[in-house]
Structure 1
Amino acid sequence: MPLHFGPWDVVLVVAVSLQATALAYIPSPRWKAFAFCLPFPFTFASLALGHRIDTTNVLGLPLLIAYTQGVRLLHRRLGLPIVVAIAISALGYSLVGCLLAPVVPLGDAAFWLALAGALALGIGLYRWLPDHAEPGHRTSLPVYIKLPIVATVVIALVVAKGALHGFMTLFPMVGVVAAYESRHSLWTWGRQMPTWMIAMVPMMAILRLAEPLMGIAPALLLGWLGFLATLLPLTWRQWTRDALEEKSRLRQAALPQHGA
């Protein structure tokens, strides 16, 4: 099969490389996780792939959640080096995606059923995962070292896009670097992902309905509106709730001192 590397593939490489590199210089764990959730890779990967969104795209949502949690568990629980944990998790995503892509049903019923399941999973995780205070981190490496590493990963993925099909649009292109840069705050990074998953549901629904009518580019613009309209209030609610809970913990911790 001849290698096809089109204009949108070039845009994908550039956009993802810039986003992943920018994450490395954000010190706040919360803002780093939030910036990771912006679906630039999904947008340009969809344009590069050139296929209508289908069930494989939707199944990439829980698979990316599994990637983030896999990195955390392998590194924090099993004590594997962060680079090894990232490599194993990314390989797992690729293998599962390649195995499922040829057999996943692509009809409307399968798509909407998978999307409903993703929404239910996202809401459950959003409500269940508690807040953990974690330290921030900002890379000390210069940009000229990080950019080539990220670009190499993205180029390799673009070459393999035919095998991954819709799973390619949600492959952790940015996540490979984001996981390393968030190695001190993997819980915070993973906790933001259910919010991202919930926000991706309206984006994918809009794409599925609008793309046949107006084409993929205008449909993606509408999808971004649906995504941001969901992500921003959910993130604000989560951060506000965390701040209130932190104040409550601090007051309870101070009570014995007042009693003394």
Structure 2
Amino acid sequence: MNISGNTIFIPGSTSGIGLALAVELQKKGNTVIVGGRRTDLLEQIAADHPGIDTVRIDTTDAESISSAGKEVLENHPDLNVLVAMAGIMRVEDWHQPGSFLETAEAVMTTNVLGPIRLIAAFTEHLQSKPDAAIVTVSSGLAFAPLVATPSYNASKAAIHMLSESIRLQLADTSVQIIELVPPAVRTSLLPGQEDSEPAMPLDEFVSEVVSLLESQPEAPEIQVERVKFLRYGEARGDYDDVVKTLNESDPHAK
């Protein structure tokens, strides 16, 4: 993926990693479209960041994805990059089915069905572009589980394998599949995470991501240094120690 000269749609980016990444990619000379559910946030983003376009989209709603996809392509026919950013994270207790089922279903709908529907809405168009990319967003927790968030862990493992699989299928096209693998980052993904000492500062994370995209344009995965502890535990042979360390440091595991 070239770091500049793209037209990029980032649904689920009205805050956190998505918004910070949108702002940095615009600075690099890209046309950026931000998507989200809340029109007040979209209006604020448009006012705060002139040149960033916005579109309302609910990534849990198949009809909303279809409608927003048509709007984006009508207004931005040069679109060549999709960043499937939307995701939620919830603490669950699986001792009692009634306490987690609704939450688990919501996590899977947002984190797995959402990206699948987004990719389905844009894949045909992207294949018509000579230099296109789909960026998926998994997590270090796809490779080492946080005990408090079973469905989130599973959803991100699914995104990892989905990325691996569609990369193979689309190898004969112009569409590059890039998997972004964040560690814990200081955002509001979980209550208190924006002030969590073990989590990576948001500005540092996004700066490193943009630097990696620029220096490694052919990379299948974008891994900041801090996520490699989780990403490669099994390969290094210290998986059990990684899982133990991860959960000992997390307040939600207590």
Q: TM-score range by the shorter chain?
A: 0.3 to 0.5
Which of 1 and 2 has higher RCO (CA within 8 Å, sep 6+)? 1
Q: Which protein is richer in strand relative to its size?
A: 2
Q: What TM-score, normalized to structure 1?
A: 0.32
The structure with the greater share of residues assigned to helix is 1
Report which of the two structures shows the higher radius of gyration computed on alpha carbons. Answer: 1
